[in-house]
Amino acid sequence: MDIRFVTAGGGDVVAVMATDGGDLLAAGKALDAAASGRIAKAMKAANFRGGAGQVTDILAPDGVDFARVLVIGIGKADAADGMTVERWAGHAVKRVLTSGAEKLVLQPDALPSVSKAEAGAHAAMGARLAGYRFDTYRTKLKPDQKPTLTAVEIAMDGPAAAKARADKDAAVVEGVFFARDLVSEPPNVLYPESFAERLRDLETIGCEVEVLEPETMARLGMGALLGVAQGSSRPARLVAVKWNGGSKGSKPIALVGKGVTFDTGGISLKPGAGMDEMKGDMGGAAAVAGTMKAIALRKAKANVVGVVALVENMPGANAQRPGDIVNTMSGQTIEVLNTDAEGRLILADAVWYAQDKYEPSALIDLATLTGAVIVALGHENAGMFSNDEDLAHAITSAGQAEGEPVWRLPLSAAYDKLIDTPNADMKNIAGKPVAGSIVGAQFVKRFIKDGMPWAHMDIAGTAWKSGPYEDPLSPAWATGYGVRLLNRLIQNRYEE
Ligand code: BES
Ligand code: MN
Ligand code: ZN
């Protein structure tokens, strides 16, 4: 989609803002004056109240050059932030994407806590994110199912400042789309080797990419990661993507992602219903991949290394059994009591490798780790755990700013005890249905070295959304969750 910044736009459709109570803002008022009050009349007739996302759709009003006017609510102006503007733009784009219209004009207004330039840039961001589709495998789309919208014009005074911001944001959008594509791809197409190949492509934008094969992983002692992979005919990969945009010798921040390209549960087989969703069990790896793409495209002045552990969890003839005890690269042993608690097993070796090899200044892992986090937080917040107050706060505020909220959950020695076992250094489940997400986090923590600032993000509820979730900025399935948050975190905290 082509995004242009102009002072006065022209096209098929125009969208303006209205606030709680049903009041048009400046751009809408000007349009209403040109239409001799017909827009306000239509809003009144439709009982439009201006709530966030509420729309009055006016066709062919007299006196204006547009065939269609969308008045879209943003709720209370005082409470509005940049994300409010993005969602406003997202509603407009989703409404007309396949409508036959080719050009949409957005007329954002400045808001009490959003400057004009910010409003313009957020409108562009919202329009881009809402225009995403994953149609790769749909060969028989009917004309009315195909996107017709090719251009969005952001019409405003002083468009240049907004354009400058939006150009930087375009890199982040590319990162989000990369993550969405990866989560959306079917598991016969995206498996450890093909995922690794897609990461290899990041070399063309200046990343260093290193791909480890099973022989190397075995030599390094990654028995937990390889134990998960051994039930599949698809060999595991561990990929490190480096972006060296910071000063030479300064320690990188490490991002580690769970990349289970399909999670059947292994011998502890999952029930059949909805198992297809487990193609998205590489959402943590996708978030890391998307972030690396975003920071490389915008040439971030920071050193960042992304490490993703890629496996397929299958119940093959050579699959690991409940009761197996595996060795890890850290030297610690794990009793595998449930082969469906596989994410923590691959993370154990991946986070150790990331610390051992790159000596990062901080480490953040992202994983679709537990169904329990969906029980606790639904699809609205990711669960976040951290041993470092400053890092936890920085992640929370980055998520807040980018519409990717997190909610912090606790860690403590009492929870840690739940994974003790007489048979090995630890077991991979608590064995009773308590605090499932915390137990997962405590397990990963056992592989974090003393003194390492660390955060774990359980994104099982946010990497994709199933069911009746309508998000103006996201498709029905893959969200790309994590890319915006991590990009913002790097910008706020790690960039020189
Ligand atoms: N990939 C799943 C977690 C998951 C569930 C992600 C639903 C997204 C949606 C993970 O590997 C898993 O199976 N976890 C188990 C852990 C249990 C065996 C301790 C779970 O959540 O049931
Ligand atoms: Mn599992
Ligand atoms: Zn899993």
Query: Does residue 470 surpass a pLDDT of 90?
Result: no
Angle between helices 159-184 and 116-130 in degrees, nearest 10: 30
CATH architecture designation of domain 172-494 = 3-Layer(aba) Sandwich (3.40)
Go through the chain and tell me how many residues it has. 496
Bridging pattern class, strands 362-367 and 253-263: parallel
Share of the chain above pLDDT 70, in %: 100
Q: What is the mean pLDDT of residues 150-177?
A: 96
What is the reported pLDDT for 230? 98
Q: Mind spelling out the 3-state secondary structure of the chain?
A: CEEEEECCCCCCEEEEEEECCCEECHHHHHHHHHCCCHHHHHHHHCCCCCCCCCEEEEECCCCCCCCEEEEEECCCHHHCCHHHHHHHHHHHHHHHCCCCCCEEEEECCCECCECHHHHHHHHHHHHHHHCCCCCCCCCCCCHHHCCCCCEEEEECCCHHHHHHHHHHHHHHHHHHHHHHHHHHCCCCCCCHHHHHHHHHHHHHHCCEEEEECHHHHHHHCCHHHHHHHCCCCCCCEEEEEEEECCCCCCCCEEEEEEEEEEECCCCCCCCCCCHHHHHHCCHHHHHHHHHHHHHHHCCCCCEEEEEEEEEEECCCCCCCCCCCEEECCCCCEEECCCCCCCHHHHHHHHHHHHHHHHCCCEEEEEECCCCHHHHHHCCCCEEEEECCHHHHHHHHHHHHHCCCCEEECCCCHHHHHHHCCCCCCEECCCCCCCCHHHHHHHHHHCCCCCCCCEEEEECCCCCECCCCCCCCCCCCCECCCCHHHHHHHHHHHHCC
What is the reported pLDDT for 466? 83
Bridging pattern class, strands 103-107 and 68-73: unpaired
Atom of ligand 1 nearest to the CA of 338: 18
Distance, CA 224 to ligand 3 centroid (Å)? Answer: 14
Q: What is the mean pLDDT of residues 113-118?
A: 97
Q: How far apart are CA 312 and CA 288, in angstroms?
A: 18
Distance, CA 215 to ligand 1 centroid (Å)? Answer: 28
Query: Does residue 285 surpass a pLDDT of 90?
Result: yes
**CA geometry: angle 337, 338, 342, nearest 5 deg:** 120
Task: Check if the beta carbon of residue 70 is closer than 8 Å to that of residue 97.
Answer: no
Query: Does residue 469 surpass a pLDDT of 80?
Result: no
What is the reported pLDDT for 364? 99
Atom of ligand 1 nearest to the CA of 281: 1
Q: How far apart are CA 104 and CA 199, in angstroms?
A: 34
Give the class (CATH, top level) of 2-157: alpha beta
What is the residue-averaged pLDDT of the chain? 97
Which tokens in the block code for residue 394? 């920085």
Residue 454 CA to its chain's centroid (Å): 19
Atom of ligand 1 nearest to the CA of 368: 6
Query: What is the per-residue pLDDT across 288-344, written as a single tens digit (0 to 9) for each?
Result: 999 999 999 999 999 999 999 999 999 999 999 999 999 999 999 999 999 999 999
Distance, CA 101 to ligand 3 centroid (Å)? Answer: 42
Ligand minimally distant from the alpha carbon of residue 277? 1
Best of 183, 268, 370, 456 to mutate for ligand 1, by most ligand atoms within 8 A of CB?
A: 370
Catalytic annotation, residues:
270, 344
Query: Does residue 468 surpass a pLDDT of 90?
Result: no
Map out the domains of the chain as residue ranges: 2-157, 172-494
Atom of ligand 1 nearest to the CA of 340: 13
What is the reported pLDDT for 156? 95
Query: What is the per-residue pLDDT across 370-421, written as a single tens digit (0 to 9) for each?
Result: 999 999 999 999 999 999 999 999 999 999 999 999 999 999 999 999 999 9
- State if pTM tops 0.95: yes
Q: Looking at the DSSP assignment, which residues form a beta bridge with residue 155?
A: 6
Neighbours of ion ligand 2 (CB under 5 A): 263, 340, 342
Ligand minimally distant from the alpha carbon of residue 370? 1
Distance, CA 133 to ligand 3 centroid (Å)? Answer: 25
What is the reported pLDDT for 250? 97
Residue 77 CA to its chain's centroid (Å): 27
Ligand minimally distant from the alpha carbon of residue 375? 1
Query: What is the per-residue pLDDT across 216-273, written as a single tens digit (0 to 9) for each?
Result: 999 999 999 999 999 999 999 999 999 999 999 999 999 999 999 999 999 999 999 9
Closest protein CA for atom 22 of ligand 1: 371
Distance, CA 435 to ligand 2 centroid (Å)? Answer: 16
Going by pLDDT thresholds of 50, 70 and 90, the confidence category of residue 362 is very high
Which residues have C-beta atoms less than 6 Å from ligand 1? 263, 281, 338, 340-343, 368, 370-372, 429, 436, 460
What is the reported pLDDT for 9? 82
Going by pLDDT thresholds of 50, 70 and 90, the confidence category of residue 467 is confident
Q: What is the mean pLDDT of residues 472-484?
A: 96
Task: Check if the beta carbon of residue 107 is closer than 8 Å to that of residue 15.
Answer: yes
Best of 340, 342, 427 to mutate for ligand 1, by most ligand atoms within 8 A of CB?
A: 340
Query: Does residue 148 surpass a pLDDT of 80?
Result: yes
